[in-house]
Amino acid sequence: MSTPLLLDVRDLHVTYPSGGGVPAVRGVSFQLERGETLGVAGESGCGKSTLAGALLRLLPPGTEVSGEVLLDGENVLTMREDRLRAVRWTELAVVFQGALHTLNPVKRVGWQIEEAITTHERGIPRSELRGRVAELLETVGIPGRRAVDYPHQLSGGQRQRVLIALALACSPHLLIADEPTTALDVMVQAQVLRLLEDLQRDLGLAVVFITHDLSTLAAVCRRLLVMYAGRVVEDGPSDEVFGSPKHPYTAALAAAFPIIGDARFRMAPSGLPGDPPDPRHLPSGCTFHPRCSVARPECASRAVELWPAGEGRRAACVQVLDEVPT
């Protein structure tokens, strides 16, 4: 018998209760194997952070979530409270965006890491606990003595590393890194990413990276999902998705992050016109058609789905139907 997939998300829908229901995620499905890396890309408001919250049921009360989130074959969405608490952080941990407010400002960072450990393991001697916290901090390149510091005494990059150490505290199998590098300067971003890559390789972790920065994802992840207006619009091996996008939205995202030194990006600043659609009033047909540079008349009415678009690739654009003979 094959072991179940580490993560199997099936037809996930998330609707926020405000203003008569805001559909933030509309039917997202994807799978993740052990040790695999997956990137989720999209503009702010496309539902990618909501997706992260839904995986551990961390969304505000009143939010409607349907579909299935199978973690090691167990559905997180229907789990009992005590089982859910046990799964949180031991199976799946989240590296939150560490800008400023993710760590409790009035608790020492070491204490905040200890808390994660003691929540799941009882009766650990104090000295051992201290040792483990120091070890975790050393793993992410922070001297163990900084455990007694408060978050405001650390730099932005250090705080982000603390969040990573915190996420590793209970040796989870899966990390969700939700915009782990925003609000950090470019040098520090690169360090944090390299750290996550190393950890992923050394510990055999599966990692889901969530960010709007497609070029980062292409460098770090094996597979890529591109989300637009709460749906996956393209899915495939990351270098192929980034290198030769099948969906015009992916193409626009890729062009927004030029490769330094690549002649193709020279003198050709490109961006995507318009704003992401309001989830309450989504455009008809393909939700991307009002901003699409290659839209056809049929796009305003024709429903799109993820069609096969070559080896291991799928895209939700009518263009791919032209290429692939059916």
Partner 1 sequence: MSPRYVSGKVLGSLGTLAFVIVFNFFLFRVVEGNPVATLFRGRNLTDAQRAAMRHQFGLDGSKLDQFWHYLVQLAHLNLGRSYETNATVLSEIGAAAWPTIWLVGISTLLSTVIGVAIGIVAAWRRGSVRDHALTSFTMTTYAMPDFWLGMLLLIVFSVLLGWFPIGGISDPTSNTTGIALLADQAYHMVLPCLTLTVAYLGEYAIVMRSSLLDTMREDYLTLARAKGLRDVLVRRRHAVPNALLPVVTLIAINFGFVLSGAIAVESIFSWPGLGHATYAAIRAPDLPMLQGLFLVFSASVIFFNLLADLAYAYLDPRVRTS
The residue ranges that bind partner 1 (CB under 8 A) are 53, 56, 58, 85-90, 93-94, 96-97, 101-107, 115-116, 119-120, 150, 152-153, 166
Q: How far is the CB of 102 from partner 1 (least distance, A)?
A: 5
List Cβ neighbours of 229 (8 Å cut-off, separation of 6 or more).
26, 46, 47, 276, 277, 279, 282, 287, 288
295 near 318, Cβ under 8 Å? no
Q: Which residue type occupies 115?
A: E
Is 206 or 309 the residue whose CB approaches partner 1 more closely?
A: 206
- Of the candidates 246, 248, 245, the residue with the CA atom closest to the CA atom of residue 291: 248
Task: Give the span between the Cα atoms of 139 and 199, in whole angstroms.
Answer: 9
DSSP-based three-state secondary structure for 280 = coil
HSE-up of residue 133 (Cα within 13 Å, Cβ side): 25
Find the helix or strand (DSSP H, E) in which 238 lies. Answer: helix 238-243
DSSP-based three-state secondary structure for 323 = helix
Q: How far is the CB of 135 from partner 1 (least distance, A)?
A: 18
Is 112 or 211 the residue whose CB approaches partner 1 more closely?
A: 112
Is 120 or 146 the residue whose CB approaches partner 1 more closely?
A: 120
Pairing, β 174-178 against β 92-95: parallel
Q: How far is the CB of 168 from partner 1 (least distance, A)?
A: 12
Is 59 or 315 the residue whose CB approaches partner 1 more closely?
A: 59
206 near 36, Cβ under 8 Å? yes
Q: How far is the CB of 221 from partner 1 (least distance, A)?
A: 22
Q: How far is the CB of 103 from partner 1 (least distance, A)?
A: 6
Q: Bridge partners of 95?
A: 177
Is 88 or 231 the residue whose CB approaches partner 1 more closely?
A: 88
Distance between terminal CA atoms of the chain? 34
Indicate the DSSP class of residue 319: H
Q: How far is the CB of 289 from partner 1 (least distance, A)?
A: 35
Q: How far is the CB of 99 from partner 1 (least distance, A)?
A: 9
Is 205 or 254 the residue whose CB approaches partner 1 more closely?
A: 205
Is 165 or 254 the residue whose CB approaches partner 1 more closely?
A: 165
Q: How far is the CB of 144 from partner 1 (least distance, A)?
A: 19
Per-position DSSP letters for 85-149, written without gaps between them: HHHBTTTEEEE---SSSSS-TTS-HHHHHHHHHHHHS----HHHHHHHHHHHHHHTT--GGGGGS
Distance of CA 25 to the CA centre of its chain: 13
120 near 89, Cβ under 8 Å? yes
Is 90 or 319 the residue whose CB approaches partner 1 more closely?
A: 90
Q: How far is the CB of 108 from partner 1 (least distance, A)?
A: 8
Is 157 or 285 the residue whose CB approaches partner 1 more closely?
A: 157
